[in-house]
Chains A and B, each alone.
Chain A
Amino acid sequence: MAGVQPTSSLGGPSAPRINDLAFKIGTVNGTGSASANGLLRQAIFRMGIPVSGKNLFPSNIQGLPTWYEIRASGKGHTARTARFDLVVAMNPASYARDIEETTTGGWVLHDSSWPLPRDLTREDVRFLGIPLAKMAVDNFQGSRIRVLMKNICYVGALAALLKIDIDIVKELLTETFASKPKLLDSNFLAIDLGYDYARDAFDCPLPVHLEPMEENHDSILIDGNTAAALGCLYAGATVAAWYPITPSTSLVDAFTAFCLRHRKAPDTGKNRFAILQAEDELAAAGMVLGAGWAGARAFTSTSGAGLSLMGEFIGFAYYAEIPAVFFDVQRVGPSTGMPTRTQQGDIQFVAYASHGDTKHIVLFPADPRECFDLAVQAFDLADRYQTPVFVLTDLDIGMNDWVVPKLAWDDEYRPDRGKVLSSDELEGAESFHRYLDPDGDGIPWRSLPGVHPKGAFLTRGSGHDRYGNYTEDSEPYTDVMDRIRRKIDGAAPRLPAPEIHVRDGVSLGLVTVGSCRGAVLEAVEALRNRGVAVNYLRVRAFPFHPQVEDFLEKHKVVFVVEQNRDGQLRNLLVAETGVPKRRLVSVRYYGGLPMSCHHVIDGIAPYLDPEPATGPISTHSSSDPDARTAPALQGADP
């Protein structure tokens, strides 16, 4: 075998560890590794083991380094971890980084068709060389198929090393290539080549490996954008207008695919939907407003940069009271930022988006299952409150595959279209004025165009009175603005309640949002193992549900964990609740990768009373300095 021989100076094989591992694969963008990596993730899922896959990809079509990280955890901890027991180094351009990120005692699987540069070796990891490129060249014809099969070879090798059920891998391949027997044969051969080589050359399985479990019977493996698209389909959305932008594009792509399959009129083959790819995000927002105004359930899907462009229409929808649903699959900002990295940097912007006084209903799913559920709710809320509703996810939720409970649907569900006057109601009414508040809840009645002459009014973003007439006078203007405020504030208790895990007598609280959930729950468990009790709340909507303020009040110190530089959720909590600012400690990670448990622990650790020097918790990264919020926590738990 060419290259560096496996060496270890760390006293023999690692201790056995079952169903608690993470590995990453470093490849080159555009070489077809996504399907190989998906195969691994899917096979582990079918083995019944909780698993997650994080795709770290560049903003590029072909040629740059890309990574896929898989974590399998019998305990169900599927947040990203920075510990990689095994690294598959397929890309010479990222060898150095990949080898460096292998945990002590771990393994590096590399292509030994060429020697690995000597300066990259480490004494504390083992190198497993497999001549993948050579195998592919010797066994397959054509450059593209060789590149693809090289990937499948490492899948075979990993199956042997990590004890991934080879029959399940082949079953998946059979499903994928059912109609392409020639490709299936190639894939089978490649799997066997990798599998057999590994079995012959190494002690398989490695001490850190997988064993079948029974965890995933009622689960699916799905990304958030697909799940959100399903939510739109099921909520009865008929109009989507959008402009392509990473990482939200796949939401509309998925919606399109679902509509083509499930929204064709059976008799005519015509579409019960319209999907408009707009010229920019401004137009996309305008189309959504026009459609919502005319009575359709309409939405757009974008990311922060697109939402900035939509700002003017967002204010319009708020002030003119037009239902609209905006999905913001957040990426790293500001500006173009890092388009293929994840962040929760739009929280504050979205809460008060557009100029003037506005405040918006925002929903925060934590995973794809909630993307589905909250997407449906978003349409109901938009119609009920006649206002734009934002569903704030992020790249990690939107584009990565998560194991979540199966999506459920109640056939009794009927959309809440809110207060819309029918033709008969208008006919019978003495008069109609758009912005009156006859029910005292701040929500006016609306009429749709084309229904009845008595329903006519002019929708405007300019100053208007409660009758819908133009005004530049103080009192009629403030009258409407005050009512809209009452309307939105009144929505708070009816928005999705927070997820809360509390035990009595615990004075430390932890508040988080969205995709931080997995990392935070893992941290709560790790802290508990360390003797530190922490209560947990995850915000699911803005304006905040009353339970949020209750929780803050009941805890002496509350750590607010989120993925942005400025502690945006904390800022909102400070602004929108009566809780003293000093009681809210900001814990942040905003480097663009999905949040890990250690980010939470590292952020909290400095505020805890004397701690054991070492604990069972990994604290890999440098801590996240927080000069601004460093209250003395004497007297705080534990």
Chain B
Amino acid sequence: MTYIAKPRVRHPGLPTNRLGLTRRDYEGSMSTLCAGCGHDSITAAIVEAFWKLETPPHMVAKTSGIGCSGKTPTYFLKEAHGFNAVHGRMPSVTTGAHVANRDLVCIGVSGDGDSLSIGMGQFAHVIRRNVDMLYVLENNGVYGLTKGQFSASADLGTKAKRGEINREQPIDPVLLALTLGAGFVARSFSGDKEQLVPILQAGLRHKGFALIDVISPCVTFNDHRGSTKSYAFTRDHYHPLVYADFVPSAPEIKTSYAAGDSNTVRLHDGSRINFRKVPDDYDPQDRTRVYGYIRERQQAGEVVTGLLFVEAAVPGQDADLHGIQGTVDEPLATYPFGDLCPGADALEAIQARFR
């Protein structure tokens, strides 16, 4: 059995949002991923984010490519249309869907193989085009469905399950997105729902392209000692830099960060996290310095997370795809034919040129 529908039972005590929908209403079918997969935690965070945003599920277009990440749109928002595209091509399909119907809330889920290897071109160009979407990159550094090959995000020196060491440079989607001009760049960890949910909310509400790279350990092929994308390693080197509070009533993002020194906290399983306090001069709207800071901390072996960079909206200026294209406010998909076809008289006039 490869498809498991969830029973539609509504518990009377479940809390509802203002649409009268419970979290259950934002769920999809049962996951067929491995137990403990980071992707399932992200799915849960996506459900939570949409529920909190009170988005009508059918107004969402959820897209994905191929790989474990590609399966996940099945697991959330069963009342939304989904498009599980071919490998590495989720961005182009999302671009087309969004250009056809700008009323759709677009969320694309991809993976490190899907985005940074086969789909590198489309990943770059969807940023360049500034498509109004939330791009969730479920990053585990490994090809799971084909049993554990390194992906392009595998860190230098990380060890595969079968023992080989990666000697090729990793591609960091966050640094790449910053370089390419993305207006919203975040990194998080599937194990930190508290940080993840507000970022997802903010990303969904951000007008234009929003990237969230989520470290999402592969419990089956990349969770061993020596891997830099394991739960243990990630927790050890994970630095929540910016917690974002999302205020749903207004599309404004408030970031709060306090100055201070690094702080080590022991977690329940005995591992530790260094909670770094943000340096005084960190400005999430300064692209160049954000880039420099992430790079610097990376070299020190730290994975900084949070809503790392966000570009403030310029009132009256839509820099997203529809703004660039200058399209009408109504969806092109349902635009009245009478306003699209110039008619017989116009055709006669047009043809004067060809005489």
Contact = CB atoms under 8 A, between A and B. Distances in A.
A313 B80 CA distance: 22
Contact of B335 (A238, A258, A293, A453): A238
A290 B351 contact: no
Interface residues of A, number: 77
Most chain B beta-carbon contacts within 10 A, residue among A258, A263, A286 = A286
Given A222-B354, A286-B85, A291-B100, A279 B122 contact: yes
Contact of B84 (A262, A274, A298, A459): A459
Interface string B1-37: 0110000000000000000000000000000000000
Given A286-B95, A449-B81, A470-B2, A312 B335 contact: no
Given A279-B125, A471-B3, A472-B2, A290 B92 contact: yes
Contacts of A447: 81
Contact of A294 (B61, B122, B344): B61
B82 A287 contact: no
Contacts of A238: 100, 332-333, 335, 340
A239 B99 contact: yes
A490 interface: no
Most chain A beta-carbon contacts within 10 A, residue among B61, B78, B328 = B328
B84 A220 contact: no
A408 B347 CA distance: 8
A147 interface: no
Query: Interface extent on B, as a size class?
Result: 35 or more
A276 B86 contact: no
A280 interface: yes
B162 interface: no
Given A234-B341, A265-B328, A282 B79 contact: no
Contacts of B100: 238-239, 290-296, 298
Interface string B114-150: 0000000110110001000000000000000000000
A241 interface: yes
Contacts of A239: 96, 99-100, 332
Contacts of B334: 295
B329 A293 contact: no
Nearest to A372: B347
Nearest to B125: A279
A172 to B, nearest CB: 10
A472 B2 CA distance: 7
Contacts of A445: none
Contacts of B80: 449, 456
Contacts of B93: 286-287, 289-290, 293
Contacts of B300: none
A521 B93 CA distance: 44
A462 B32 CA distance: 15
Given A407-B347, A415-B337, A450-B58, A274 B332 contact: yes
Given A294-B97, A453-B58, A462-B84, 12 more contacts: A233-B342, A236-B340, A286-B92, A290-B96, A295-B334, A407-B347, A407-B351, A408-B344, A415-B337, A449-B81, A450-B104, A458-B82
12 contacts: A262-B346, A273-B332, A279-B125, A283-B92, A291-B100, A293-B96, A295-B100, A296-B99, A411-B344, A449-B80, A458-B83, A469-B3
